[in-house]
Amino acid sequence: MQIKFSDIKSARSQDELDSIISEIVSTNTKESPIYLSDIIVNYNNGGGLIMKAIADRDEEDAEGGSEERILYKIKVVRDEWGNPPVPGEKVKWVINKRPKDQHGRPVTASDAAAMRITGDWDKKFKIVREYTVDNKGCISVPFQVAAAMLNVYGLHGRTMKPITKNHPIEHSTEPVETPSGEKLHVWYWRYYEVTPEEHVALPDLEKVEAPKRGYTKRKKD
């Protein structure tokens, strides 16, 4: 479905706006997910309203354990040190849960500050997820993760221009020291979204068992 963001902006009443958003979100299915990249770049033209509606539905599906929960295909271009994806490897992503107390109310600022001091914040509201790279170099992730990846490190899959406003340049201007002791640039443009049809058309990748830059210490000569 081609989203007409002009219709959202020209809605003359709240009921009309709600109807437009509802119709758009109804087209978002497990077999044919909405192309999130278009929504993100049109955030101020109604994309933000669509994203909120999708997020609410995704949260309901996640809490209810729905088998119809929608996953989005994200092509991994490279990792933070510039290494290309390898089938079977894991991509880690930290998810920040919405902070609520045991009664479902938002956590107060003072409670949040106290939990950060004690370390309870990370235990309760930070979750590390791992996603396996498939033979096409892609991962399948839920809405919250897909939106975050594209917002922080994403390219638009159709134009290959950066979606992220966080990183207007492709990699760091200066090399930094990696865990292996090497000096490498940090790469910011790491992911782009693909449709199910585009995913099928991608070539298969070879599984190369080679040391990755930035992680494995090199042997001294």
Q: Does the pLDDT value for residue 152 go beyond 50? A: yes
* Average pLDDT of the residues in 156-165: 94
Q: Are 189 and 155 in contact (CB under 8 A)?
A: yes
Pairing state of beta strands 138-142 and 71-76?
A: antiparallel
Q: Which residue has the higher pLDDT, 38 or 126?
A: 38
Q: Does the pLDDT value for residue 218 go beyond 60? A: no
From CA 48, how far away is CA 51, in angstroms rounded? 5
- Per domain, the residue ranges of the chain are 5-89+133-201
Count of C-beta atoms within a 10 Å radius of residue 123: 10
- The strand pairing partners of 72, in sequence order, are 141
Count of C-beta atoms within a 10 Å radius of residue 208: 9
What is Dmax (Cα atoms) for the chain?
Answer: 72
User: For residue 59, what pLDDT is reported?
Assistant: 87
User: For residue 95, what pLDDT is reported?
Assistant: 80
User: For residue 62, what pLDDT is reported?
Assistant: 86
User: For residue 121, what pLDDT is reported?
Assistant: 66
Angle, nearest 10°, between helix axes 47-64 and 143-153?
A: 140
Q: Are 200 and 163 in contact (CB under 8 A)?
A: no
Q: Does the pLDDT value for residue 135 go beyond 90? A: yes
User: For residue 63, what pLDDT is reported?
Assistant: 79
Count of C-beta atoms within a 10 Å radius of residue 51: 20
Lowest mean pLDDT among 26-40, 57-71, 72-86: 57-71
From CA 119, how far away is CA 123, in angstroms rounded? 7
Q: H helices within 119-190, ranges in order? A: 120-125, 143-153
Give pairs for 107-116: CB < 8 Å, separation 24+.
none
Please state the pTM of the whole predicted model. 0.85
